[in-house]
Each structure stands twice: as structure tokens, then as C-alpha cells.
Amino acid sequence: MITPPKSSHIPRATIQRLATYVQVLENFVRDNVEVISSNPLAEACGVNGSQVRKDLAYLGEFGIRGVGYQVKSLIAAITSSLGVDREWRMALIGVGNLGKALLNHGEFRARGFNIVAIFDCDPFKIGEIVHGLEVHCTRDLKDIVSEQGIEIGIITTPPERAQRAAQHLMDAGITSILNYAPARIKVPERIHVEYVDFFHYLYSLAFNHQQPR
Amino acid sequence: MITPPKSSHIPRATIQRLATYVQVLENFVRDNVEVISSNPLAEACGVNGSQVRKDLAYLGEFGIRGVGYQVKSLIAAITSSLGVDREWRMALIGVGNLGKALLNHGEFRARGFNIVAIFDCDPFKIGEIVHGLEVHCTRDLKDIVSEQGIEIGIITTPPERAQRAAQHLMDAGITSILNYAPARIKVPERIHVEYVDFFHYLYSLAFNHQQPR
DNA sequence: TGCTGTGAAGTGCTTCACAGCG
DNA sequence: CGCTGTGAAGCACTTCACAGCA
């Protein structure tokens, strides 16, 4: 039986793993696996079986005791709980190399995360068409955000302009920010910022590589 | 006085924060800040002051009591402890859109993480020159890895080919893998894999956005 | 005096172990 | 009988509080 979510607090670590479960479950769908129990799923994700069961239990009861979980309906349950089973409209600030690379990365769109407006403060870039979108002046952000129903802002500016970009986004009422700029930004408590830094991973690899163990 | 590292175990969480400290400290250098104490550094990184002091203490004693830390020498101390103050030679497998985007992303090279050889299993791509590098057949990986002194492998294949790419890397003696493919890979204990998934961040944003609080 | 470095206390996540159900 | 869902125990990281040094 499928029961609705427990109202309790979901740990941040769980949210991150749920994203992994979806990724792995989608690969199981591709291999025509219909039912999976917690232990093999856990192994495929590199975590403990209890962990998987506890994580899923936060969202409700989707398992069948003695059997396991239906792969497809589990994906649906997780994506629905996370709120990623719908379209999210996003604005991108900073149309440099990185910004262009993200625009070309079709996966975002395929998952319902659509970049629908792009901005830059460089007058030479404004008006240019990149990947089918016109580059707007950052000053017009507020109007376009409300016109277009944008809920997430992506910062791909150089580090020294990241704070100003964040300010523009907040002024436009955006509370969810994905920051690719290599700088921390100061925001009030209620604003949610996720930092993407390619070097964190490389630093981990380098550190572990040189460790003698 | 600067003392050498404590030999004790460094938590994984600390390693991740150290990368953040470097990023923030570099921005302080840009602003000509020469000395910083733990609390302002902590605030800029969004963590607790004790946390910063404890993290830094894992590496040794670089602080001056009553004063703080020298920004430049602190950066040097952290990067040296992490092992990121030298060149790292890397191989990339999977020369598709994502692979090409990484090759064009100059920051890797600027930090000493050099992609020095690229591979693909598509015969149409082999021999092509991308960003100044010839695309090699994945079968030649082992020879090129030892010739070129490559220590890190980057996987940018589609998910269904990620496991095979990982196998090729391991056969070539690589123990550090950065996986951009949306799939988990099975590896022995001693292999270190870091997973890069753009959607983890978006999933977090989406989840928090829809939460009522 | 001010800030670092660190034992001790606190917190939250992970794992265990098993009751409960299909 | 097997696997889920979950209280309890265990563990690791975080924060506190203050001794110790410049």
C-alpha cells in the first residue's frame, strides 16, 4: 500500500541520495528490471540497505514486504516528492563560456529544467542570440522574471560579479540560486543557494591520491 | 610558528571545506586582504568559526594567536596539504558535447589539472583533433597512460558505456576517477571515484523551493 | 588583550536488529 | 519465508568553552 509522506523533517543528506537513487533506478528501467529490493539498490548506489529503506520511508511507504519496490512507481514517487516531475523555469546570468556550455547541455531541458531567459551586463553581448535566446540586460531581470514565471536563477559570471548577480536575482524575487561562479555569496537565511565547483571533486581526488593509506 | 601536519585522520567533510576556504581566500587576496581570523573567514564560507580552526588544525598550526592567519601562506599550506600545488595529468574518455565543453573550460589547466589525452570508442571520432588533442582509440589507453604519466581519468561517456570506460582506466592502472556520466560504476575498494551530477543541485533547489517551511 | 588550538559536550546521520506484514 | 519499516545503538562531525600563547 502506498501511504502519503511522513510530515517529519527530511535530512539534507537524504535529499542528495534520493537524486542518486533516481539516477540508478532509471538505469534499471533501461535494463527492464521491474522490481528491486533495498539491498541490491543500495549496492548499486554504494550505500547501506537500511539507509535506502530509511530514506524512502521519509517519503511514505511504497515497498511491498517480502518483495521490494516497483522500479517505475518508485521513480515516480521520488520525483514527485522532490518536486522534479514538473517544469522549472530558470534564468541564467553571465553569458560567457560556461554559460554557453550550460545552454548547449540538452540534459537540463530534457529533465524539465528550462533556461528560458539569459542576461549579461556587457553591452556588447546584449541583443546577441545564443542558443535561440536573446541576451538581455541584467537591469531587465525583474520584469522578465515575473513575465516568464521564472523560479530559479543560475549564476555563471566571473567571481567578482557573482554577488551583484545574486542581488539582481533576489530583487526580482528569486529565492533559489545555482551558483557556478567560484565565489561565495552573502544572502539572507530564506534564500537557498547551491554552489557548483568543479574543483571540489578534483581536490578530493588529488588528496586521496597522495595519501599513503 | 608553522608546524607540520598531525598524522591523524582528516574527515571527508573537512577536505571539501578546505576547497571552499581556498576559493574564498583567493578572493580575499584579490581584495588585498593580508591577514584574516577564523570568524570572518568562517562567515564568508557560511560555516562556524570553530569549524574553520579545527579544519585548519588538521593540517598543522599556521595561525598566530591574537592575530589570525596570513592569507597567502594559508592558501599555500592548504593547497600543499591537499596536493593540488602541482601538475596533475588527466585522460578523458568520451569526446561528446560534455567532453568537449570540459576541454574548452580553461580553468582546469589554470589550476594544474591538465587533460593531456582524449579517447573515444567511436571509429568516426578517432583521429579527429579536438582542442589541440588527437582523439585516440580507447584500446590504446593503457600505453598512453604510462607514456604520459597520467594519474586521473575523466569519464564523459553516455551512462551505458561508463562502466566499460572505468574498466579501461583501471586496467591502465588509474586509481582516481572523475565520473560525469549519469551512472554509478562498480569498482574495487582501492579505486577512488568522484561523481559529478548537475541534477543533484537542481533537485535540492526544487525540493527546498516547494517545501512550505 | 585577542585569537588560535583543542578537549568535552552536543547533534544529527548511519547502521543495527528485529517486529510486522505480504 | 523474505523484505520492508523503524526504534535503539553507534558513530562521526559540529559546536561550545576555555586554556594557552603572541
How many structural domains does chain B have? 2
- On whether both B75 and B92 belong to a single domain, the answer is no
On whether residue A165 sits in a domain, the answer given is: yes
- Please give the residue that has the higher pLDDT: either A189 or B155: B155
- On whether both A44 and A120 belong to a single domain, the answer is no
Nearest by CB to A46, from B19, B184, B204: name it. Answer: B184
Which residue, B204, B203, B181, B201, is CA-closest to B193? B181
Q: pLDDT tens for residues B163-184?
A: 999 999 999 999 999 999 999 9
Do the Cβ atoms of B198 and A197 come within 8 Å? no
pLDDT at A211: 78
Instruction: State the number of CA atoms in the 13 A half-sphere of A44 facing the CB.
Output: 18
Do the Cβ atoms of A201 and B209 come within 8 Å? no
Torsion of CA B54, A201, A182, B69, to 10 degrees: 20
pLDDT at A212: 54
On whether residue B211 sits in a domain, the answer given is: no
CATH code at A41?
1.10.10.10
Give residue A60's domain range. Answer: 12-82
- Residues above pLDDT 90, as percent of chain B: 92
Q: pLDDT tens for residues B29-52?
A: 999 999 999 999 999 999 999 999
Q: How many Å from the CA of A156 to C1' of D17?
A: 41
Nearest by CB to B197, from A19, A177, A198: name it. Answer: A19
Confirm if B94 and B155 have CB atoms less than 8 A apart: yes
Which chain A residues are within 8 Å of B183, Cβ to Cβ? 23-24, 27
On whether residue A67 sits in a domain, the answer given is: yes
pLDDT at B212: 55
Q: Determine the protein residue whose CA lies at the shortest distance from the C1' of D14.
A: B51
pLDDT at B198: 87
Torsion of CA A37, A39, A41, A46, to 10 degrees: 170
Last residue of a domain, one of A34, A66, A82: A82
Do the Cβ atoms of B151 and A209 come within 8 Å? yes
Which chain B residues are within 8 Å of A198, Cβ to Cβ? 105, 107-108, 196
State the average pLDDT over residues B71-85.
96
Question: Is strand C in 7 Å reach of the CB of B56?
Answer: yes
Q: Which helix (H) or strand (E) holds A98?
A: helix A97-104
State the average pLDDT over residues B154-171.
97
Question: Is strand C in 7 Å reach of the CB of B51?
Answer: no
Do the Cβ atoms of A107 and B184 come within 8 Å? no
Instruction: State the number of CA atoms in the 13 A half-sphere of B146 facing the CB.
Output: 7
pLDDT at B6: 46
**d(Cα B145, Cα B150) in Å, to the nearest integer?**
5
Measured on CA atoms in the order A31, A37, A40, A41, is the torsion positive or negative? positive
**d(Cα B152, Cα B175) in Å, to the nearest integer?**
7
Low-confidence ranges of chain A (pLDDT < 70): 1-7, 212-213
The nucleotide minimizing the C1' distance to residue B35's CA is C3
State the average pLDDT over residues B48-68.
96
State the average pLDDT over residues B107-119.
95
Question: Is strand D in 7 Å reach of the CB of A5?
Answer: no
On whether residue B140 sits in a domain, the answer given is: yes
By C-alpha distance, the chain A residue nearest B199 is A19
Is-above-0.85 flag for pTM? yes
- On whether both B94 and B143 belong to a single domain, the answer is yes
3 state SS of A5:
coil
Last residue of a domain, one of A35, A62, A82: A82
- On whether both A25 and A109 belong to a single domain, the answer is no
Which residue do the cell numbers 514527485 mark?
Answer: A80
CATH code at A140?
3.40.50.720
By C-alpha distance, the chain A residue nearest B20 is A200
- On whether both B172 and B92 belong to a single domain, the answer is yes
- On whether both A107 and A191 belong to a single domain, the answer is yes
**d(Cα A61, Cα B111) in Å, to the nearest integer?**
47
pLDDT at B2: 44
- Please give the residue that has the higher pLDDT: either B8 or B72: B72
Task: Give the closest-approach CA distance of A24 to chain B in angstroms.
Answer: 6
Measured on CA atoms in the order A40, A44, A45, A46, is the torsion positive or negative? positive
pLDDT at B9: 86
pLDDT at A106: 83
- What would the DSSP string read from start to end of B14-56? HHHHHHHHHHHHHHHHHTT--EE-HHHHHHHHTS-HHHHHHHH
Residues 66-95 of B with CB under 7 A from strand C: 66-69
